[in-house]
Structure 1
Amino acid sequence: MRPKFSAIWTYFSEVDADTVRCKICDQTYSRKGRGTSGLRSYLKSRHEVEYAEYEQKNTALKKAAVDKRKLSEETPLQQAKRQVTLQEALQRHQYWDTSHEKSCELDNLICEMLAFQDLPFNFVEGIGFRRLIHAVQPKYNLRGRQSYTSHLCNYIYPKLRNKVKNLIKDLQYLSFTADIWTEPGAGVSLLSFTIHGINNDFQRVSLFLKCVPLEERHTGDVIAQKLDEIREEWKIPRQKIHIMVRDGGSNMKRAARVSQINDIDCNIHQLQLCIRAALAIGEYISSLLAKCKQIATHFNHSIIAQSELKGFQERLGLPLLSVIQDCPTRWNSMFNMIQRLIEIKDAIVLYTSQHTNLPQFTPNDWLQLESCATILKPFEEATKTMSGSEAFIRDPSNPCLDLHIAESIETEYK
């Protein structure tokens, strides 16, 4: 038999001239034409993770072959011109090869760090991170963001995806939450999809599966189509879904009906709607809250105002706290704004007395704000309790899911 140079032969052994055997599943495969394209197709369709590893190895072999060919084609004069200095040669010799065991381990750990900590890919190009890696392990050849992006998407993601699929299979029933939100920086609307369930060990499982852009109008039919696509992508049968938790938007309600999924309102969202509706009933409270919003907006739009307020706080011996602005889509922000104004009340009174263009608070106004904060405090505590990641976990020793997945991935690498 002729020697095999392709990386595909890592996963196959030649039985005879026309037949090969897969080393992974031990199945024989007819190799017509004696080419390797059929072997690649077989590996891609049957063994997704191993195919990603093959792609990585094949790319490295092709690059090495190109470099070798370029070197052989160079004239002696060109070779002399490209000779590196002694210091560069010694430095290159000190670096591990990309296929070195420790180098591969650090590649995986860096990519996991980017994924688990939700860091941008250009983090690996920061001077602080590069100095740290060089000091900890000088032999590691730290590469650019494109290299880690490719490694994360082509090698780590398939492993993590298979792990998540296995976790989903362990759930007899699951519920999911879906929400639409806008990313101000990118100017795009996104639909998120998160599943929740209890496995056979009676441990709660929460997995954020997908976040897709919504380029069309946010109609119920469009949302239903996106939800069905995500469900089919992760092979989640409709009969396995217990319920969909959503906000009170009519488009989300219609999406649930179109997808034929039982749905229910989010308790916390309904609670926040009740709070805002109650605050809007009284004319006096509404006007008082409008004053608070005007003052908060003033400080959030002026660095000079913030500096002057800080000066008043220092002279009065108050803690240096900034004003919090109310945001309609951020839960408890109304309570947080009122509570913060009360905490720095004396500094606010001094500042507004010198800026007559701002609304002035009377002593009765402050009493009403304190009463309002007292009423809203239990709702703020209830919102935090129900929206916490361990809201329904009674055993504090229960390991978190992220750690469970990380340990599983680490076991698979080893």
Structure 2
Amino acid sequence: MSAVWNHFKLETESCPTATCNVCKLSVSHGGKDRAAFNTANLIRHLKNKHPAQYSEFTAATQIKTWSQPTREAMLKNKEKLPKDSDKAKNITAEIAEFIALDDQPLSVVSNVGFRRLMEHLEPRYELPSRSYFTDTALPSIHNKLRDHLLVMLSKVSAFEFTTDIWSSSVCLMSLISFTAQWIDSSFNLQRATLNVQHFRGSHTAEHVKQAIEEMLNSWAIEKERVHVIVRDNARNMKRAMEDLAVPSLGCVAHTLQLVVHEGLLSQRSVTDTMANARKIIGHFKHSPLAYSRLEDIQISLKMTVKRLQQDVHVRWNSSLYMLQSILEQKRALSIYTADHNLPATLTASQWTLMENTAEVLVPLEELTREVSKETATAADVIPAISALRRVLSREQTTDQGVRTMKRTLLEAVETRFAEVEKEPLYSIATLVDPRYKDRYFTKSDHLRFAKDSLIQEVMKMEENRVASKEPEAAEPVSKAPRQGAGSSLGSILDEILEERQPEAQSVSTTSADVQVWIYLSEQTIPRKSNPLDYWKTHATQFPSLAAVATKFLCAPCTSVDSERLFSAVSNILDENRNRLSPDKLEMLIFLKKKTCTLFGSLRVKVELHIEHMEEVIYQFFAI
């Protein structure tokens, strides 16, 4: 509505005159026909009779005049953008981001639909060829990121790595991964994907050793700075690390897989029941009609419509999920069997056996989830195994029919984790984690060995500090209240913590003994707290002990980082891109892992020829 009506009033919408609010004069605003109404007379009245109100009207309207563009301007708008212009470089960078982050094939820039889209969005932009993105755009970003990562790695004194080997199902290609973790000077955990390298030939220990050596050399990382490499439990991997003369640990998740596998196979009644459950689920998996009938029953029972979950041999926790899913549909399945046939039936005792089996496996599944988290470290292993031993050794009313399986699980845990408290990489990490300290060791001689090892590490750090003449300080550590746990395994951890108090010991005259004794005598922090936040706050109180913590608390306890990496690789190397070269595959996965934060969170535009790329990448890696 025109601003002139702020100064006039209409009796009705069809009235040919309007009344001035100032002088109350009736002014015509067009002919008698509504289609001819206008505001020209009203504006003229304000201009001639009421200058002040006319000024208000003109200020409110802010009339914009339109001028026809010149011939030169029209021709300029049709010209193609120069390739070195800021806008063209920004668009090209956005396309490179699109390819890297969304797992797009490099051929997307040649597709007709994509080119038509770019032509519609910016007709002046000339889309570069596929070879430009392949040979120039993406490698330019990759090389800059790699160079700055090299600078960062050169300043790190101790690394933890994970490695694994993966074979593609869509082409004849095997890849070996190499990921790194470390804690920086600000007590922040840093991660980097270093390599997803083509692994040719047989997977022998010698070939694995050579591949690891090549990757370490390519990043200028000496063996002395390798704190530990987390690998799977295969003999070739273990032998390769021994030949390479670097510390290594087996993946805890893989070890738990072997433990549960032994337990489930130990009792015939359990294996038979699970085999029947697989047959029933397989029946619904292969028959859409059967699934439709089951869904109708779920709806009639007002249940949430869910599909039954099949287990996978290489993931033991999928067996638990299978049992839980079929137990959840017990009523629906009972109604289904009344009218339809199934390839197997479950007796009342087998239903009870499945419930009891699931009850036994729940703490193991919880432990698997905990150690597979990105924040899990080697410090979590000893407390978790101590709690698991206690859970499996307790007699429960739900043990009927699964006692043999439960006993076998406990024996497998005792066998496969027998040396866990003797391993300094685990024991020292547990001691320097302020959530656990010395409260979860099961044998006193193991604890004494762990403390002696810790004191030796602290003394080494003190020697280095004396050489660099860094100041030291020692202040009492502030106490933090404990938090309760909401899970079965967590409740056992709290129970152990309440039972075991710090041991009284004579204080030695050495600074290392003093730091360790004062630190261990203090109360633990809540389990949900971040141990790195603790050391960030108390680094000035226990400087040498804090340095040991930065070395040991960055060690992961599983090779999950590498497995997650291969999940990302499978999204890039698929049926549509099964001829992608290993070098380009490694470049794309490196960019995807490195640019997710850079492009996604910071929304920094990576220009192909940006002058200040160094500052941008530094900000990215500092997150």
Q: Deviations over 1:142-181 (max 9, x none)?
A: 4554443333443111011112212322321101111122
Whether the 8 Å contact between 2:101 and 2:596 is mirrored in structure 1 is: no
Contact 1:314 1:320 in 2 (8 A): yes
One-letter amino acid of the counterpart of residue 394, structure 1: N
> CA 1:252/1:91 → structure 2, altered by over 3 Å: closer, same or farther?
farther
Deviates more, 1:242-251 or 1:177-186: 177-186
Measured in 2, the distance between the counterparts of 1:404 and 1:95 equals: 33
Partner of residue 210, structure 2: 225
Write the distance in 2 (CA, Å) between the matches of 1:351 and 1:145: 56
TM-score, with length taken from structure 2: 0.46
Partners of 2:79 and 2:331 in 1: how far apart?
64
Higher RCO (CA < 8 A, seq sep 6+): 2
Distance 1:351 1:125 in 2: 53
Secondary structure at 1:223 match in 2: helix
> 2:333 is matched by which residue type in structure 1?
I
Residue 310 (1) aligns with residue 295 (2): yes
Match of 2:225 in 1: 240
Distance 2:111 2:531 in 1: 40
The offset of 1:262, in angstroms, is 1.1
Matched, 1:394 2:530: yes
Q: Cα distance, 1:245 vs. partner?
A: 0.7
Letter in 1 for 2:297: F
SS of match in other structure, 1:228? helix
For residue 384 of structure 1, what is the amino acid of its counterpart?
R
Question: Could you say if the C-alpha distance between residues 143 and 366 of structure 1 is closer, same or farther in structure 2, counting changes exceeding 3 Å?
Answer: farther
Which residue type is aligned with residue 272 of structure 2? Answer: S
| Whole-angstrom distance in 2 between the partners of 1:343 and 1:367 | 13
Cα deviation digits, residues 190-229 of structure 1 (max 9, x gap): 2211111112222111212112233322111111111111
Specify the alignment match of 1:121 in structure 2. Answer: 106
| Farther off after superposition, 164-173 or 291-300 | 291-300
Do 1:279 and 1:286's aligned partners in 2 also have CA atoms closer than 8 Å?
Answer: yes
* Residues 334 and 127 of structure 1, relative CA distance in 2, 3 Å threshold: farther
- CA apart distance, 1:242: 0.7
* Mapped partners of 2:351, 2:111: distance in 1: 48
Equivalent residue letter for 2:530:
R
Q: Residue 197 of structure 2 aligns with which residue?
A: 212
More strand by share: 1
2:310 aligns with one of 325, 334, 337: 325
Aligned residue for 1:34?
none
In structure 2, distance between residues paired with 1:110 and 1:331: 41
Distance in 2 of aligned mates of 1:295 and 1:182: 32
Please list, as runs of the form range in 1=range in 2, the aligned pairs for 1:183-202 lying within 5 A after superposition. Answer: 183-202=168-187
Paired with 1:323 and 1:126, the residues of 2 have a C-alpha distance of 40
Match of 1:363 among 312, 327, 348: 348
What is the match of residue 412 of structure 1?
613
Distance verdict in 2 for CA 1:388–1:158, change over 3 Å: same
Q: Percent identity?
A: 28
What displacement does 1:101 show?
Answer: 0.9
Distance 1:204 1:359, change over 3 A: same
Q: Which residue pairs with 1:280 in the alignment?
A: 265
Give 1:264-303 correspondences, 5 Å limit. 264-303=249-288
1:167 aligns with 2:152: yes
Aligned equivalent of 1:107: 92
2:362 is matched with: 377
Q: Once the 2 structures are TM-superposed, how far is the Cα of residue 300 of structure 1 from its aligned partner?
A: 3.6
Among 326, 339, 347, the residue aligned to 2:324: 339
CA drift at 1:401? 7.8
> How does the TM-score come out when normalised to structure 1?
0.68
Conservation of the 8 A alpha-carbon contact between 2:154 and 2:220: no
Contact 1:326 / 1:337 at 8 angstroms: preserved in 2? Answer: yes
**Relative to structure 1, is the Cα distance of residues 140 and 249 closer, same or farther in structure 2, using a 3 angstrom cutoff?**
same
CA distance in 2, matches of 1:121, 1:365: 54
Q: Deviations over 1:315-345 (max 9, x none)?
A: 3332222222211223521122222222223
| Equivalent position SS for 1:321 | coil
- Secondary structure in structure 2 of the residue aligned to 1:365: helix
Aligned CA-pair RMSD: 3.5
1:196 to 1:288, Cα distance in 2 relative to 1, 3 A = same
1:154 maps to 139
Structure 1 alignment gaps of length 5 or more? 1-88
Deviation at 1:249, TM superposition (A): 0.6
CA distance, structure 2, for counterparts of residue 128 and residue 330 of structure 1: 41
CA distance in 1, matches of 2:328, 2:168: 32
> Equivalents in 1 of 2:76, 2:295: separation in Å?
52
Judge conservation of contact 1:325–1:337 (CA < 8 Å) in 2. Answer: yes
